Amino acid sequence: MSDPFAAVISQDDAVARLEAAAKAPVHAYLLLGPRGSGSYQAALGFAALLLVDESEDEIAARHQRLALEEKHPDLIIIEAQGAALRVGEAEAIIRHGSISPVEGRRKVIIVRGIDAIEEAAIGKLLKVIEEPPASAIFVLLADEIPPEIITIASRCVPIEFGPISLTILETMLFAEGVNPKRAKAAAAASGGDVDRARLLATDDELAMRAALWQSIPDKLDGTGSTVHEMTAQLREGMDGAQGPLEAQHVIELEALEERVELTGERGSGRSDLVAKQKREVRRQRVDELRFGLATLARIYRDRLIVGPNARAEHALRSIRNTADALIRNPNEPLLLQALLLDLGSE
């Protein structure tokens, strides 16, 4: 069989712990690390090891392939349909956990974004983690552990994933055939996210969007008309940033339709794929905003290096508050207008 963790980059300690855990697994694990750090790919690799179990080589290879492709009948993947995991998703986790495995003696339930969970769903999820079905193994994923899920986290074995360095991302992209200048820019704008780095490496307009954000401090003149114009330009750039992702989505849908045509299978999963793609579009816009805010913040930090600068300090606070507000899914144009008005005020 191939290495089930081949898609995980620069997370040797976490992978070693998962490989060891697969030999004598307990009921629940918490993979803790920022999106794009490889925690999800590692969860799939871990699921593959758990579902292979003691199968013969040929059968084991099939179990591994299906798990890594997210198609194994005993692998359930749950993630929020909106901004947070809700009661409905928690109930789905309980329901799937109570059903016996289809092919083996284990069922693996991966839950993405457990740190974004509504209060009403916490109790339901905690109960199934505390009293798990004998055949179910839960693999929870989170960027961090907020206070409200500490009790859930305490019932799981933690596996930590550190952020991937920009140097490693840059080297990875270069090894994959991306030219050095583009690899450096994509890595710097990725926020340490492997998938985003690869996507940005195909984005011809990345440098233009970075330059637009960098130009903001010098263009703001305190007038509403300038703020309106800059907001429109920023949003137009963000719309353009969807191009590579939309192209990727077209390929995914075409592959799905081709598979359905060849196999004639029912319940092809088109609605699930479309829902997943919509979530990716939402995340892409948030990622673009975070990239822009980080780019803008560097301009003001550079001004502080020169010497004390009260306006730069105020600007950095405003940018930080704007970034914090993104978790609440705010109105995008209003958020940008409020920031630019604040930055342009005397």
Domains of the chain: 12-160 (3.40.50.300), 203-344 (no CATH)
Least confident range from 85-89, 263-267, 333-337: namely 263-267
Q: In this model, does residue 251 exceed pLDDT 80?
A: yes
Query: For the whole prediction, is pTM greater than 0.85?
Result: no
Asked if 166 contacts 188 with a C-beta cutoff of 8 angstroms, the reply is yes
What pLDDT, on the 0 to 100 scale, is given for residue 88? 85
Residues 68-84 have a mean pLDDT of 84
Q: What is the pLDDT of residue 266?
A: 57
218-224: average pLDDT? 89
CA 265 remoteness from chain centre: 30
CA distances from 330 to 20, 275, 297, 327, 338 (A): 42, 20, 20, 8, 12
Residue 202's pLDDT is what?
87
Kindly report the average pLDDT of the chain as a whole number.
Answer: 87
Whether the CA torsion 296, 321, 35, 82 is positive or negative: it is negative
- What contacts 260, CB < 8 A, 6 or more positions away? 268, 270
What residues are paired with 30 via a beta bridge? 140, 158
- Give the residues across from 160 on adjacent strands: 32
Task: Yes or no: say if 17 and 33 are a contact pair by the CB < 8 Å rule.
Answer: no
The torsion angles phi and psi of 168, rounded to 5 degrees, stand at -65, -40
Closest CA to 97 of 108, 84, 113: 108
Reduce the DSSP state of residue 342 to 3 states and report it.
helix
pLDDT at position 280 over 70: yes
The residue whose two tokens read 């440098």 is: 207
Residues 307-331: what's their mean pLDDT?
89
- 82 CB-near residues (< 8 Å, 6+ apart): none
Classify burial at 90, counting beta carbons within 10 Å of its beta carbon; exposed 0-12, middle 13-18, buried 19 or more.
Answer: buried
Checking if the pLDDT of 53 tops 80, the result is no
Q: Which residues pair with 159 in a beta bridge?
A: 31
What strands lie across the sheet with 75-79, from one edge to the other? Answer: 75-79, 107-112, 136-142, 28-32, 157-160
Percentage of residues in the chain with pLDDT exceeding 90?
39
